[in-house]
Structures are given as structure tokens and as C-alpha cells.
Amino acid sequence: MSISNRDNTLRSARNLGRLSGSKPINGRVGQSDKIDFAKFTLSEVSEFGLSIGRVVGRASATVTIRNVRGAVVQSFRTGTRPQSFKGKLAEGTYYIGVQRVRGEVSYRLTASARRTEPGEVLSTARKIGVLSGTYVNRDFVGTTDQQDFYKFSLNDIANLQASVTGSSANTRLQLIRDSNNNGRVDNGEVLATGTNFSSTFLSKVTQDLPRGTYYIGVTPSNSSASTRYQLSLVATPFGGNISPEPGNTLSTARNLGVLSGTFSAREHVGEIDSSDIYRFTLDDIANLQATVTATSANTEIQLIRDINNNGLVDNGEILAADTNFSSTFISNFTQDLPTGNYFFKVESRNESVPTLYEMNLVVTPFGGNELPDPGNTLSTARNIGALSGTFSTREHIGILDPNDSYRFTLNNDANLQARVNGSSANTFIELIRDINNNGLVDNGELIASDTNFSSNFLSEITRDLQEGAYFFRVSPRNSSAPTNYSLSLTVG
């Protein structure tokens, strides 16, 4: 601040930047330069001080402190003795103004800011800002300062390790999330508590957390005991890569679109975020391998198909599930699937035990090559037409598609070789002739069948046939074991 008109307005105020510690401000106001402004910012609630030395002679000026809107929050007049102001200011932007009243005033101001003690309520908590890496602070709690609060944010899902070591007494450590933003600690908002009654005076909490804003509270374990303490907060980011956050209902599921190849994600489930649901589409029959590896608790995973499209998980719509109770924290399953829309759900096996997790969905297309899908009855069978040489196709049967029926015609007597290879389960195959054309399989109309119980998942039929119309049906040997399959019908 000097003899210049460039700093005569709030907009053009000299910028002192973030104020921490003391900073001198020198200048002059008079007939030709009647007012000077300087701007500074406070990053947290601070004890603010502003002092000015004595002014010689009859000259005088008014010193003001203004908020970001320009409203005066404090003012005082210079005089033949030094003048000063001390008080607490919230974080934000402020302006210092020096305005001539009389004469020419050369001034030397000193502005200072010192962070305040951590507040005893959430609204006055010391603001740490975004926590990444390690934060350490030393302070005091006891008979004259019953509680200290610290406020921090996580901009990535992370593991938090919080510890408090007292110098002469035990402390209680609380991890808090003000879910309703009312500035109070309500029921259910204390996520974790650490209290140590041993001679080490150490209290600690380790918690997996989603993105958001949190508070740490430190109190003496005994209200009559006082101690200095050291607080240490260590945040280890997990590298979450899903945005927006996966919803916890089918209607708010994170839509992954058409899934092919590998999709990976890192996220969080627990008390704050009970479950994550993802929606994806298969545009080919495929094999899905789903694996979820958690960091600190077991998870339950589910594969869902909303068959009636009502946005709810009804009976029979959970196609596969896995809950792991071991120390590896891995849940997985493998499932053959037809084309369509699906949901994948991840939740903590115990909601009160949060965990970070890594999810991998691997889709291997099977190469289905026929449309429309073969029907489940003789009347809706896919019509191959006159069979000559070899007919091949790839399809799916299982919970969602109980069987596939094919219709073909032989124009001459011929030998038929039918082979079905399941990809993940055995199949049951049938050769049928609907002699009375009623669309049903009556007594005497099943010509041949085969179910293979071996590990090669191969079922086959070889039969000499007369000319005419026939049906070939493929079903899963176990209705709860879906499989993709390759079918070949060869006429020789």
C-alpha cells in the first residue's frame, strides 16, 4: 500500500494472499489518495490481530476490517497512541481499509493470524482440508478444554488410520460423519470409537471410508484428567474410479453399458453406503467371471436379472450369488448367460464393518450366431428347414431359458449325427417326431435321448431316420446349472 490510486477500491485492493503469522503493511493516505485497501484470506478460524502505530500531529485516519461483501465488521480511529484490534475471524476473504479523516497520514500496520484451538463443537472444528497422506497435530484436552474437533475431507475412497497418544492420561477418539449436516453429533453418526485404558495412553481407529467430509473428536477418557496429546491421521487412497457413485437400488444402478472384455472398479460398501449396484448389457451369449476382493471385510455379491422390469429383486431373479466367510475376503462366481440386461450387486456381509473392494467383471463372448432364440415348445421351435450336410449353432440354456427346440426336415432317408457340447454343464438332448402333429411329445414320439454325466459336457445321438419332419430339443441336465452350448446336426 503506497501513495497510489490503484488500491482505492475493494476490487483493486492489494492482495496479501493467505495470512499466516504476521505481515507489515505500510502506506500513506492524504488529500490526493484518501483511501487504501488490502485483501487477505484465512484458511481456517483464526485469532486475528491488527495494530497501527501512533500518528504524529493532528492527522488521523479510520481503519476498517470488512468481510468479503464489503460490510464493516470492525473499525477504530488512529491517534497519538498505538491502536489495535484482536478477535476471532472465520475462514474467508477480508479487506483492511485505511481512510483519511484529516491531514496526511503515513502508517505502518501489522496484520497477524494465528489458528485457533480446535473447537469444542463441530461448527468450530479445526479445518484440515482435504486429507491425503499424514496430518499430525499436538494439543491439549482436559478440565479446561473438554473436547477438540477436527474436520477433514476425502476426495477418494481411502483407508483412514487415526491415533491419539496422550502424554499423561488416556483419551477417547471418535470418527464422526455429520450425515444430516446439522452441526451436531446425532445417533448413528459416530462411525468408530477408540478408547485405551492402558499405560500406553494410545487410542486408535482404522476405518475404510468413502469420499466425503468427516470429523475427529478427541476427549479425555476421564473428565477430571488433563493431558497433552498428539493426533495422527493417515489417509491411504484406494484409487476409486467410478463416477457417479453406484446406487443401491436397481433404478439407481451405475450403467456400464454393453460389457465385453474386462471391467474393473474400486469402491466402498459399509454402514455409510450399504450396497453398490451396477447395470450392464450383454449383446452376445457369454461367460461372466465375477470377482470381488475386499480389503477389510467379506462381501456378498449377486447377479440379478429384473425379469419383470419392476425395479425390484423378486423371487427367482437372483441368478447367482457368493458370500465368502474366509480371511481372503474374495467372493466370486462364474456364470454362462444369454443376451440381455443384468445387475451386479456388492454389499458388505456385515453392514457395520465397512470395506473397500476391487471388482473385476470378465465377459467372454460365446459367439451366438442365430436369431431369433429357439422356442421352448414344439410349436415355437426354430425352423431349420430341409437339413442337408451340417447345421451348426451356438446358444444358451438354463434358468432364464429352460430349453431350446429346433425343427428340421429330411427329404430322404438319412443317418443323423447330433452333438451338443456344453461349455460349463452337461446337457440333455432329445430327438422327437410329432407323429400326430399336436405340438406335444406323446408316448412313442421320443425317438432317442442322451444325457452325459462326464466332465467333457458332451451329449450325442446317432440314428438312421426316414424322410419327414423332426424336432431336436436341448435342455440343461440341472435347471440351476446354466450353460452355453455348441450344437451340430450332420446328415450323411
pLDDT in tens, the chain (492 residues): 444 567 889 999 999 999 988 999 999 999 889 999 999 999 876 889 999 988 877 889 999 999 999 999 999 988 888 888 888 787 789 999 999 999 999 999 999 998 777 888 898 899 899 998 899 998 888 877 789 999 999 999 999 999 999 888 888 999 999 999 999 999 999 999 997 766 678 899 999 999 999 999 999 888 778 888 999 999 999 988 667 789 999 999 999 999 999 999 999 999 888 899 999 999 999 999 999 999 988 999 999 999 999 999 999 999 999 987 777 899 999 999 999 999 999 999 887 789 999 999 999 999 876 677 899 999 999 999 999 999 999 999 998 999 999 999 999 999 999 999 999 999 999 999 999 999 999 999 999 999 877 778 999 999 999 999 999 999 998 877 899 999 999 998
Yes or no: say if 51 and 107 are a contact pair by the CB < 8 Å rule. no
Sheet of 83-89: strand order equals 21-29, 105-115, 46-52, 83-89
d(CA 447, CA 102): 117
d(CA 425, CA 485): 9
The DSSP code for 251 is: G
C-alpha dist (Å) from residue 413 to 264, 320, 469: 54, 45, 11
d(CA 82, CA 23): 17
Residue among 470, 457, 447 nearest 426 (CA): 457
Q: What is the widest separation between alpha-carbon atoms in the chain?
A: 128
The dihedrals phi and psi of 250, each to the nearest 5 degrees, come to -60, -40
Residue among 430, 392, 422 nearest 484 (CA): 422
Whether the bond into 237 is cis, omega within 30 of 0 = no
Q: Is the dihedral of CA 365, 369, 373, 378 positive or negative?
A: negative
Yes or no: say if 363 and 261 are a contact pair by the CB < 8 Å rule. yes
CB neighbours of residue 473 within 10 Å: 22
Per-residue pLDDT, 327: 78
Judged on CB neighbours under 10 Å (0-12, 13-18, 19+), 109 is buried
In the chain, domain spans: 14-115, 122-237, 250-365, 378-491
The two domains 122-237 and 250-365 share their CATH topology (first three levels equal): yes
Per-residue pLDDT, 242: 66
Instruction: Specify the pairing of strand 404-410 against strand 382-386.
Output: parallel
As a whole number, the mean pLDDT across the chain is 91
Q: Which residue has the cell 476405518?
A: 207
Per-residue pLDDT, 228: 87
Query: Would you mind telling me the total number of residues written for the chain in this entry?
Result: 492
The fold adopted by the segment(s) 378-491 is Jelly Rolls (2.60.120)
> What architecture is domain 122-237?
Sandwich (2.60)
- Cβ neighbours of residue 406 closer than 8 Å, sequence gap 6 or more: 374, 381, 382, 384, 471, 472, 473, 474, 487, 489
Per-residue pLDDT, 3: 47
The fold adopted by the segment(s) 14-115 is Jelly Rolls (2.60.120)
Q: What is the CATH number of domain 250-365?
A: 2.60.120.380
